[in-house]
Chains A and B, each alone.
Chain A
Amino acid sequence: MPATIPNPSRSGGHFDDPFGRDDEPDNHGFDLLRVPLIGSFLSWRHSRTVLQIPVLLVSVAMIVHGLLGPSLAPKNLATVLGWVHFRGALVLVLLCAGNFFCLACPFMLVRNAMRRFIQPRFNWPRPLRNKWIPVGLFALILFSYELFSMWSSPWITAWVIVGYFAAVLVIDGLFKHAAFCKFVCPIGQFNFIAATVSPTEVAVRDHEVCDSCRTNDCIRGRREPAADLVILQRGCELALFQPAKVGNMDCTFCLDCVHACPHDNVGILSRLPASELMTDPQRSGIGFFSRRKDIAALTVVFCFGALMNAFGMVSPVYAAESWLSIKLHIHQEAPILGLLFAFFLVVEPAVLLGLAGWVTLAWAGVRRAWLPLIVRYTYALVPLGFGMWLAHYGYHFFTGLYTIVPVTQSAFVDLGWPILGDPRWTLVGLPQAIVQPIEFGFLLLGLAGSLSIVWRLAEDDSEDHALRVFTPWATVCVLLFLASLWLMTQPMDMRATIMAG
């Protein structure tokens, strides 16, 4: 992983700041690390470990209950916590705060413990230093989720968690830095993309302080003065150099940079959500978004996968699969599902984005090549995609909010230790009449965010014909919004198997 990031302060000036902060004093409205108690806690060097321990214990409980507990998904901690509460809480925290789930990641706790005994020897292979593996894994997980009906199997869910721990230990046991987080972890990539619309980011408080910094501890780590190879405090393992870092992409909120900075100059600062998608500066550890086809592909899977994931839970998917099965004389689910995924994750985005790019070039005369133009505008879809994830996961989270209570009661009863009383299976969650308007609100919020980004990009690309640039991409946004709206109004139909036999 490259750790040699050019220091703007040494090359004679700042990187271009997308939000004009270079011309203004660094004056952020809110810094979470300045909040009494919370700030002190998060600034404490062991805060991450303290947050990770309970999540690890919950993960272990999920594995044990998933493997040994009831096979019925609604009565098992693995499936209820994993597919109802974890996913819902994840997207809500990303929306309201930031990437705090990566901060509390239990996999990293186990990995850090392993690294006390095993030091990795290899660097992550240079050809793989991109997001193509996570793109494939993300799509594979969405596909497997449907094919194996993971939501309905505590056993599979438990093994997925075990597999995740194993993958982290193998990859980070072999490769240095945070290779798993940056180049493999599909959950992490989901969080990175979604966190681009979060209201906070880990960022420098005052760039002038960084200008005078000569140690770069935020990325190099704090070293033993007498022995430079001895690291007292890790710097950023994901190659994000704070003075040149823009936004939340690749940031796990691990706060290593906060602890390493000798000037106490890194905070968790407020910002306009999605503002990092409205500009295209060079980003530390990432480069230019507009040149990163791999991150654009990840964005496509994130956005169109949101629709596909919800599509798998409504009635029309069964009609579509049955129709395909009959037409193609295929009676296995995997190839039929594969065709649907290929259509929704490859063909549909290629057609929609390709056409929008072509119209933009032909009508508005933007001076960009076709593919870079598409890559640039693809990021504008993130709020829409995130709105759909919020609507979908929020639905399960809110309507099943209290189900964790009887499942936990039942788990204690199974242990022969009924301290929480008999399970109250009638405890479910908020009524659909309350949840549905919230879902629509999320979708509208996503549409508004995407349209705002498209407009900003259009203004940048063509002052004279901004509306012409805006129109095709706004059309794509509205089409996806209408598709999301249609999906959310379809009757739920959650089946573990689709094809007969």
Chain B
Amino acid sequence: MVNASLLLLAEALAMTACHRTRPIDDAGISIQQRITPQPPRVGPASVAIQLSDAAARPVEAVRITVEADMSHPGMSPVFAEARKEKPGDYLATLNLNMGGDWVVLTHVELPGGKKLERQMDLRGVASR
């Protein structure tokens, strides 16, 4: 019973750990992000980023960097450069080195120098 309840709690936590965002910025660019594994835990985490325009066509970026900060100030942030998988799809690997709440910042540089930034909460990264 306790195990089942804990499992439910863990699932609930995993659901609240917002791992997918789909905001559309004022330039009509949509940035989808997805982090695996779910639920998140200490260790390598993949951040899949998908850029598309208002017509759902893939958008190429000049450079995408991903930064993860803990919600507590003073902790070491981690950084990763995203590599292109296919047009509009990028993948970065972050090394989440501590349990707790993280905030993932994705910095996108578009052709022409336009820059976009997305923030995503990654809550409850498990220590083990």
Task: Tell me the A residues contacting B by CB distance below 8 Å.
Answer: 72-76, 79-80, 83-84, 149, 151-152, 313, 315, 322-323, 325-326, 396-397, 399-400, 403, 425-426, 428-429, 491-497, 500-501
Contacts of B124 in A (CB 8 A): 495, 497
Q: Report if A315-B76 is in contact (Cβ < 8 Å); known contacts: A152-B101, A322-B6, A322-B9.
A: no
How distant is the Cα of A79 from the Cα of B75 in the complex, in angstroms? 12
Q: How many A-B residue pairs have CB under 8 A?
A: 106
Q: How far is the CA of A428 from the CA of B79 in the complex (A)?
A: 13
* Dominant secondary structure of chain B at its interface with chain A: mixed
Chain A neighbourhood of B9, CB < 8 A = 322, 325-326, 500
Question: Considering the complex, which residues of chain B in the window 71-128 have a beta carbon less than 8 Å from any beta carbon of chain A?
Answer: 71-77, 79, 98-101, 103, 105, 119, 123-124, 127-128
Most chain A CB within 10 A, of B42, B73, B98, B103, is at B73
Residue of A whose beta carbon sits closest to that of B5: A326
CB closest chain-B residue, reference A78:
B73
10 contacts between A and B (CB under 8 A): A79-B73, A400-B74, A426-B77, A428-B74, A428-B75, A428-B77, A494-B70, A494-B71, A494-B72, A500-B9
Is B73 a contact of A493 with CB atoms below 8 Å? no
In angstroms, Cα B67 to Cα A426, docked, is: 10
Of the residues A149, A323, A491, A500, contact of B71 by C-beta under 8 Å:
A149
Quick one: which of B15, B67, B74, B124 has the most chain A CB within 10 A?
B74
CA distance A493 to B67 in the complex (A): 19
User: B interface vs A, CB < 8 Å?
Assistant: 2, 5-6, 9, 12-13, 15-16, 42, 67, 69-77, 79, 98-101, 103, 105, 119, 123-124, 127-128
Bound: A75/B67 CA distance, A: 12
Minimum CB–CB distance from A62 to chain B (whole Å) comes to 12
B102 CB → nearest A CB, Å: 10
Q: Cβ of B77: which chain A residues have Cβ within 8 Å of it? A: 74, 425-426, 428
10 further interface pairs, Cβ-Cβ under 8 Å (given A73-B73, A492-B127): A79-B73, A83-B72, A493-B127, A494-B99, A494-B101, A495-B100, A495-B101, A495-B124, A497-B16, A500-B16
Q: Across the interface, which residues of B come within 8 angstroms of A322, CB to CB? A: 6, 9
Residues of chain B lying within 8 A (CB to CB) of residue A399: 74-76
Q: A326-B9, A491-B127 are in contact. Are A74 and B75 (CB under 8 A)?
A: yes
Bound complex: CA A76 to CA B79 (Å):
19
Q: Which residues of A contact B98 (CB under 8 A)?
A: 491-494
Determine the distance from Cα of A73 to Cα of B15 in the docked complex, in whole angstroms: 23
Closest to B127 in A: A491
Q: Which of B2, B42, B75 has most chain A Cβ within 10 Å?
A: B75
List the A side residues contacting B71 at CB < 8 Å.
Answer: 73-74, 149, 151-152, 494-496
Closest to A322 in B: B9
Nearest CB in chain A to that of B99: its residue: A493
Q: Shortest beta-carbon distance, B84 to chain A, in Å?
A: 24
Q: Within 8 Å CB of B5, what residues of A?
A: 326
If the complex has contacts A425-B67, A501-B12, are A493 and B100 also in contact, measured as CB distance less than 8 A? yes
Contact of B100 among A325, A426, A494, A500 (CB under 8 A): A494
Q: Are B119 and A74 in contact (CB under 8 A)?
A: no
Determine the distance from Cα of A501 to Cα of B100 in the docked complex, in whole angstroms. Answer: 16
Are A76 and B76 neighbours in the complex by a CB distance under 8 Å? no
A349–B111 alpha-carbon span in the complex (Å): 63
- In the bound complex, residues from chain A placing their C-beta under 8 Å from that of B123 are 495-497
Q: Given A426-B79, A500-B12, A501-B16, is A492 in contact with B73 using a C-beta cutoff of 8 Å?
A: no
Q: Are A72 and B74 in contact (CB under 8 A)?
A: no
Judge whether A72 and B119 touch: CB under 8 Å. Answer: yes
The distance in angstroms between the C-alpha atoms of A73 and B9, with both chains bound, is 27
Q: Which residues of A contact B6 (CB under 8 A)?
A: 322, 326
Q: What residues of chain B lie closer than 8 Å to A491, measured between beta carbons?
A: 42, 98-99, 127-128
Q: Name the contact of A403 in the complex, choosing from B74, B79, B101, B128 (C-beta under 8 A).
A: B74
Q: Are B69 and A315 closer than 8 Å at their CB atoms? A: no
**Bound-state Cα–Cα, A397 to B72, Å:** 12
CA distance A501 to B18 in the complex (A): 12
Chain A residues contacting B67 (CB-CB under 8 Å) are 425
Contact between A83 and B73 (Cβ–Cβ < 8 Å)?
A: yes
- Measured between beta carbons, the chain B residues less than 8 angstroms from A84 are 73-74
- The chain A residue with its CB closest to the CB of B76 is A428
Please state if A429 and B128 are interface contacts (CB–CB under 8 Å). Answer: no
Nearest CB on B from A194, distance (A): 21
Q: Which residues of A contact B128 (CB under 8 A)?
A: 315, 491
Give the shortest distance, in Å, between A336 (CB) and chain B (any CB): 12
Compute how far the CA of A143 lies from the CA of B66 in the bound complex, rounded to whole angstroms: 34
